[in-house]
Structure 1
Amino acid sequence: MPLATTRRSGLVDQVIEQMRSAIAGGEWKVGERIPTEPELVAALGVGRNTVREAVRALSHAGLLEVRQGDGTFVRATSEFSGAVRRLAGTELRDVLQVRRILEVEGARMAAEHRTDADLTELTELLARRDRSMVAKDYEAGVDQDAAFHIAVVRCSHNALLAELYSGLTEIVRASVASTVDATPRNADIDHGGLLTAIRERDADRAAAEAGGFLDELIAGIEAD
């Protein structure tokens, strides 16, 4: 990632902002290791202490995770998302319950407010997701499944709801991956009914479809 050489004032804040931008913009992806300390020093034209302080600040904010002997990895794309990940912990049921609260109303509003362009995007995302799952390319399928759910909420055209849900991006993907890994049959979950309801502007059905498969996953966890 090309990083601009910083000015000599406010070096730590500048480095933090550049690193935050690299994370938020997807240049450094969640789960990936960021450049090493010497690489960052050379790219930014600052000292090691400045880089270390910036990394420390972003780690405290939840965006980065320092693994001794292994490097520094991207943990979340924003402070909000990092906080959510810390709160969510390893309780998959909690994550699914929060997803249900947001996704049911998101789907209801998507059916009411979606545009033709929204519908095209949802159709393409779901088609790619289904192809990946049929091919047992679960890693790609999980990414596309999460992207589909995020797009559904975005199609609600409620900016606040979409922003709140976008903060859950990492744990949405993690929860999808967890359910697929734990029970491969969950890869066969059909979201076609949800897409049809949104296409037909059937808000009640869209809400029921969005909540139905999550209810099944939650029930399965509670039964274990």
Structure 2
Amino acid sequence: MPLATTRRAGLVEQVIDQMRALVASGEWLVGQRIPPEPELVSALGVGRNTVREAVRALAHAGLFEVRQGDGTFVRATSELSGAVHRLCGSELREVLEVRRALEVEGARLAALRRTADDLRRLEKSLAERDAAVAAGDSEQVVTTDTAFHLLLVECAHNPVLTELYRGFTEAVRASVATTFSLQPERQEQVSHTELLDAVRERDPERAAAEAGGFLEEMLHRLGQPEVTDSSA
């Protein structure tokens, strides 16, 4: 998606919209450095201050990360995802706790509401994930496992829940990568077959239990967090 020269009115908003579209389309990937300021100024036909203001706004929203002396990098695929990523940071426990809240309810609702087409898509997604596990392709495991969980939440047919989870995708992906790296000897044992069976059989309680089981195990391994009582 090429950059287009902007109109005079609402220049900053137009630049923000174009940059947001480039990220959403995959033209600018997460982790990638965006073009330098002079290049953006030339491509957009606006002044440096307009570009700087747009970049500053998207950095504040969590979409970009400005690294002094190194450039500006794409941090997330959406402002919501960036905000969630900024809040969670690298704290695995916090991410797993939020995943548990969203995925357990997503699985429960999916068991109640899934369609025949949903089930076919889930079966295909899980087969791709299991194939990646069998091949020992850790990067593909992370991609396909994250995709399976997102699809499962989508099958709950709750747009608000789905949008919240989509905004959490980068954090989910990071947590999947971390949990797999923490226990490489168990990769082949991590299975979502029982979870899919529960959704197939329209058993919401079993689906919820299966969705939360592995997350509960990981949280248990991490132990209890230290909490400071400020009122003491």
* TM-score normalised to structure 2 length: 0.90
Residue aligning to 1:202 = 203
1:112 is the counterpart of 2:104: no
Partner residue, 2:184? 184
Deviation at 1:187, TM superposition (A): 3.0
TM-score (structure 1 length as normaliser): 0.93
Contact in 2 for aligned 1:111/1:203 (Cα 8 Å)? yes
Shift of 1:203: 1.2
Post-superposition offset of 1:33: 2.1
- Please give the alpha-carbon distance, in whole angstroms, between the structure 2 residues aligned to 1:116 and 1:173: 27
1:160 and 1:186 map into 2 onto residues whose CA distance is: 34
Aligned identity (percent) is 65
Bigger mean CA deviation after superposition, 21-30 or 59-68: 21-30
Residue 30 of structure 1 corresponds to 30
**Residues 176-216 of structure 1 deviation map (CA, whole Å, 9 limit, x = unaligned):** 01111222235331011111111121111111110111111
Tell me which stretches of 4 or more aligned residues in structure 1 moved more than 3 Å: none
1:89 matched to which residue of 2? 89
1:34 to 1:124, Cα distance in 2 relative to 1, 3 A: farther
Q: Which residue of 1 aligns with 2:160?
A: 160
Q: Where do 1:19-168 residues align within 5 Å?
A: 19-168=19-168
- How far apart are the structure 2 equivalents of 1:110 and 1:216? 22
* Whole-Å separation in 2 of the counterparts to 1:43 and 1:12: 14
CA distance in 2, matches of 1:37, 1:26: 20
Q: SS in structure 1 opposite 2:157?
A: coil
Separation in structure 1 between the aligned mates of residue 159 and residue 180 of structure 2, nearest angstrom: 30
User: What is the count of residue pairs matched by the alignment?
Assistant: 224
The CA RMSD measured in Å over matched residues stands at 1.8
What amino acid is the match of 2:63? L
Gaps of 5+ in 1: none
Structure 2 stretches lacking a partner, 5+ long: 225-232
3-state SS of the aligned residue for 2:176? helix
